[in-house]
Structure 1
Amino acid sequence: MASCAPFPNLDRTSAADLRDTEHLLSYICSCVPDPPVSTTARLVARRGAAASKDGVDRISGLSDALLRDIVSRLPFKDAARTSVLATRWRRVWLAAPLAVADAHLLDHWPPAPADAPAVTAAVSGALAAHPGPFRCAHLVSTRMDAYQPQLKRWLRILAAKGVQELVLVNRPGPREVPLPDTLFRIANLTCLYIGFWKFPHASHLQGASFPNLRELGICSVVVKDGDIDSLVARSPLLEILNIQGSMKGLCLVGQSLRCVQICASMVESITLVSTPCLERLILWEVRASPNPASGLRTRIKIGTAPKLCVLGYLDPTQHLLEIGGTSIMPGIAPSASTILTSVKCLSLKVCFGANDAMKVPAFLKCFPNVEALHIMSAKCDEPADKLNLKFWQEVGPIRSVVLCVKVMTICEFRGGQHELAFLQFIYQNARVLNFSAIVSANVRVTGISANQIFSIVQNMDSSRWARNFNLAILGSKGPEGGRPWKFQRGANFSNDDPFAPVKS
């Protein structure tokens, strides 16, 4: 039987655009925080469920405070069902800080356009039924262009009932749906993610403030230059800023910012003006133009960031790095104004066969105290003659490689001569290297098997390596270029090396 086209009523271009939008929506939904409830801990409805084998009802003996905590961790429909158990349970339910997730009001996923009226009515009913507070509202299942009056009413209710965490994704359709002004006056918010919207005009944001906001995600939102900068400035406690989309530039001043992640984005410039607490700057698939042949590059300017310790994925082909007002180019000598001694974990995306890979030594010299170096090897069809082992030997000593790098990994490895020359340079100079991992690209993409990669690596001349170290050779099962970056990975401060494909 012939396979059915996924969008049979659309021309090819429109169908492709819709597929791209659906893929982007799926990516965004995978990046936003999950609702803080358990969908697996369902209520048990059977006789004697609350009693133990000795007949003692221990649940009823729990304090109201503990019962409220339990109820608050249930999906909204299950939490509401507890209110009919007894008068006490109704009081518990009314006082519990609940989470409303519209996905939990459906019995299937993803939602279809035909679900919108029922989902919208269910959300309206849930918000009206409970007096608050709502600790979380997770609304990702409705095309809001047709329900803007309801959205405004929801935000007014959530503001009045003290919502703390809000995820608001408009299922596309149009991205020109404006965000209601009410959103920017919800003072209790500690976490906010918005996706597929249009930022309101600056004149509508007079008095906007997020005095308690600590985490902000902005995904595929139509913004004007300076909108995000202004929002960050109005959030004095903001620690985590996550961005996906297109914008002219970012000029960040944030006294409390600890982590900035920009993924799958078109940005002309990113400037860290004054970020004294910033620990992490993570850039994944950030470029200045969708056209690789345009020659445009994203300018990354690092001003005041004295605590920056995790940085990546710097890409010499797509990025122009500027530190202390100086552009980092091949052959530039490091100076006090062009080095960042705080960076301990560095990741580079490198096409070793391209001329831009000649910037790699200059980049490495800017970070003299790097202890973990991670390379994402990009596919390259250009000849690699210039970046042979002789090139790397002529680079001269790089302090971080010689004295500091303890962990070194390379992902999407294809066994090319330019990649091997770089590995030889590292292995011949890294005096304190303890662990290295080589992760080959998916064999389905390259046609190069794990056995072939193992043989290639085994044939490397190890006689001049600086020391013995543990070497792991692994294979990837992910897509070409690696798996998409997730905001949760970079914002997990308990993981001091978010780039590591495997822990040593």
Structure 2
Amino acid sequence: MADGAAPLSPAGRRRDRLSALSDDLLHQIITQHLPVTEAAGTAALARRWRHLWSSTPLVLRDAALPEPARDAAVPRVLAEHPGHFSAVVLLDCRLASLDRELPDWPRLLADKHTQKLYLANRSTPNLTYDALPHIPADILRCDSLQELLLGFWAFPVDLSHGAGISLPNLRCLTLIMVAIRDDDLEHLITACTVLEILKLSGTTPKRIHLRSPSLRCALVGLSRVEDFAVVDAPLLERLVLFLPSKVTTVKIGYAANLRVLGHLDTRVHRLQIRDTAIGLNTVPSTSTAIPSVKILAVTVNFGVLWEVKMLACFLRCFPNIDTLHIESALHGPSVTANEPSGEHHARFWQEASPVECVRSDVKKMVIHEFRGNQNEFQFLKFVAMNAQELQSLHVVLQEENISLTDKVNEIREKLESLQFQTGISGVLLVLPTEGTLSRLQKATDLTFDDPFRF
């Protein structure tokens, strides 16, 4: 230490450097790094902190609160914070308790300008659709909402006949296990005049018709749907269909901006382009084509000849595909018992009329869930002989075969023996299957150009 320099006092060493930060930085610390109850407690630290929590838009996630105190903490925080509410995520608290402690909580969410709301009725996950409680009406009149997720609720009947909906700023709507009538769902979507992203899973409608001037992305579970149609969605860029479990008509009407589509499933989807049902005898024409689609995903059972033929029919409807994903579906023994032999499959591809997108446009192809069956290789031989623009072929091995070294080597050798017109070689990928949640998250993330990529 230099002569004459005084040592730092203990108080100097403990100087409160945190309080010297700007309000903006302290707001970030409170919202991003502190549990909500501790964030609220910062008001008691010192005069410098007193105004910060109340002036910071609230971010409340009930799962971050300890279980014993959660049901009491949620209504207290909602009542004490003056607003605005940036995000309120209630997926783990008991809403019956919230009703008792804070009966006006739905109105309060609207009054305090909630921007993002995730609301799942935890107390009723095992109830039938008929027994689901009604969503509080004030939630549907929360003008400030930009993102809304509802799980395990029922919508009021006859939304289209006077029930008030005011969601003028809503850009993302997610409905999970929700009871709502066909007409009411259409009215809800139409009422959200700036809606860009729609996610539906486990909803009750058997008919879903999309009409929206603003919608850009739709993720739709079709487990109960019999009639799905894009009627008029001029800005729709991406349509992702999942959970196919029954025969469903999939109609693409007016969607001039549609760029990404999948998974069309030859097992259960009956494709209709505008007014034409696509079948084995459909003659390709401008009226049966969607030229805007650049990325297409199709699920097919290569063991069923009729599905293989429908695969070719589907592909002819999309003449300008750059990237093609094909998922090889597993078939049951009952399906294949009377199926034609591999020779019939080979003959079909040898005699098939041209598939324009495969011949002239597809640059990247990915085969998912590949098992190395003869019929799968017949399709790859067709691609090798016809694809004039193909730059890459990735074959993703079905997970059950990953540990079978001999099987993997056999598939690799067969793949390497294929002679492609463009001189490329197929690449065998041994990867674990991506989780469903991850796949669905990518599906609606518009920063991913290709939501189906591995």
**Residue by residue, what CA displacement relative to the aligned partner does 1:242-281 show, whole Å, maximum 9, x if unpaired?**
0001321111111110000013632111111110000000
1 CA distance for matches of 2:209 and 2:102? 31
* 8 Å contact kept, 2:186–2:210: yes
Alignment partner, residue 200 of structure 1: 156
**Residue by residue, what CA displacement relative to the aligned partner does 1:370-425 show, whole Å, maximum 9, x if unpaired?**
01111111102413526622211211221111111111111111111111111111
Unaligned 5+ residue runs, structure 1? Answer: 1-47, 108-114, 289-296
Using the TM superposition, give the Cα deviation of residue 142 of structure 1 relative to its aligned residue in structure 2, in angstroms: 3.3
1:151 and 1:321, CA in 2 relative to 1: closer, same or farther beyond 3 A?
farther
Alignment partner, residue 453 of structure 2: 500
Alignment partner, residue 398 of structure 2: 441
Alignment partner, residue 189 of structure 2: 232
Alignment partner, residue 155 of structure 1: 106
Alignment partner, residue 256 of structure 1: 214
Which residues of 2 match residues 290-439 of structure 1 at below 5 A?
A: 297-354=247-304, 355-380=306-331, 381=333, 382=336, 383=339, 385=341, 388-439=345-396
Alignment partner, residue 95 of structure 1: 55
* 8 Å contact kept, 2:99–2:105: no
Moved more, 407-416 or 137-146: 137-146
1:226 and 1:411, CA in 2 relative to 1: closer, same or farther beyond 3 A?
same
* 1:361 counterpart SS class: helix
Alignment partner, residue 140 of structure 2: 184
2 CA distance for matches of 1:167 and 1:284? 22
Aligned length in residues: 430
2 CA distance for matches of 1:439 and 1:463? 16
TM-score of the superposition, structure 2-length normalised? 0.88
**Residue by residue, what CA displacement relative to the aligned partner does 1:167-219 show, whole Å, maximum 9, x if unpaired?**
00112243511111111001100000001111122269623121000000000
Alignment partner, residue 43 of structure 2: 83
* 8 Å contact kept, 1:308–1:343: yes
* 8 Å contact kept, 1:76–1:99: yes
1:159 and 1:401, CA in 2 relative to 1: closer, same or farther beyond 3 A?
same
Question: Which amino acid in the other structure matches residue 395 of structure 2?
Answer: I
**Residue by residue, what CA displacement relative to the aligned partner does 1:281-328 show, whole Å, maximum 9, x if unpaired?**
00112333xxxxxxxx11111111001000000001111110011011
2 CA distance for matches of 1:469 and 1:88? 66
2 CA distance for matches of 1:338 and 1:302? 10
Alignment partner, residue 70 of structure 1: 29
**Residue by residue, what CA displacement relative to the aligned partner does 1:147-177 show, whole Å, maximum 9, x if unpaired?**
5555752211111111000000112243511
Which residues of 2 match residues 14-33 of structure 1 at below 5 A?
A: none
2 CA distance for matches of 1:234 and 1:248? 20
Cα RMSD (Å): 2.5
* 8 Å contact kept, 1:450–1:474: no
2 CA distance for matches of 1:72 and 1:143? 24
1 CA distance for matches of 2:370 and 2:178? 35
- Find the partner of 1:468 among 395, 402, 423: 423
Using the TM superposition, give the Cα deviation of residue 94 of structure 1 relative to its aligned residue in structure 2, in angstroms: 0.9
1:493 and 1:450, CA in 2 relative to 1: closer, same or farther beyond 3 A?
farther
* 1:286 counterpart SS class: coil
* 1:314 counterpart SS class: strand
* 1:388 counterpart SS class: helix
* 8 Å contact kept, 1:330–1:362: yes
Using the TM superposition, give the Cα deviation of residue 464 of structure 1 relative to its aligned residue in structure 2, in angstroms: 4.0
2 CA distance for matches of 1:372 and 1:150? 54
Question: Which amino acid in the other structure matches residue 199 of structure 2?
Answer: N
1 CA distance for matches of 2:451 and 2:102? 36
Moved more, 466-475 or 245-254: 466-475
1:491 aligns with 2:444: yes
1:92 and 1:390, CA in 2 relative to 1: closer, same or farther beyond 3 A?
same
Structure with the greater alpha carbon radius of gyration = 2
1 CA distance for matches of 2:236 and 2:39? 39
* 8 Å contact kept, 1:450–1:475: no
Unaligned 5+ residue runs, structure 2? Answer: 1-8
Question: Which amino acid in the other structure matches residue 466 of structure 1?
Answer: Q
2 CA distance for matches of 1:470 and 1:57? 63
Using the TM superposition, give the Cα deviation of residue 63 of structure 1 relative to its aligned residue in structure 2, in angstroms: 2.5
2 CA distance for matches of 1:162 and 1:366? 46
1 CA distance for matches of 2:409 and 2:437? 26
Alignment partner, residue 458 of structure 1: 413
Using the TM superposition, give the Cα deviation of residue 476 of structure 1 relative to its aligned residue in structure 2, in angstroms: 4.1
1:177 and 1:303, CA in 2 relative to 1: closer, same or farther beyond 3 A?
same
* 2:209 counterpart SS class: strand
**Residue by residue, what CA displacement relative to the aligned partner does 1:348-385 show, whole Å, maximum 9, x if unpaired?**
01111122331111100110110111111110241352
* 8 Å contact kept, 1:384–1:418: no
* 8 Å contact kept, 2:415–2:426: no
2 CA distance for matches of 1:470 and 1:106? 55
Alignment partner, residue 106 of structure 1: 66
Using the TM superposition, give the Cα deviation of residue 346 of structure 1 relative to its aligned residue in structure 2, in angstroms: 0.4
* 1:158 counterpart SS class: helix
1 CA distance for matches of 2:416 and 2:425? 16
Alignment partner, residue 137 of structure 1: 88
* 1:337 counterpart SS class: helix
* 1:322 counterpart SS class: strand
Question: Which amino acid in the other structure matches residue 134 of structure 2?
Answer: P
Alignment partner, residue 120 of structure 1: 71
Query: % of aligned pairs identical?
Result: 37
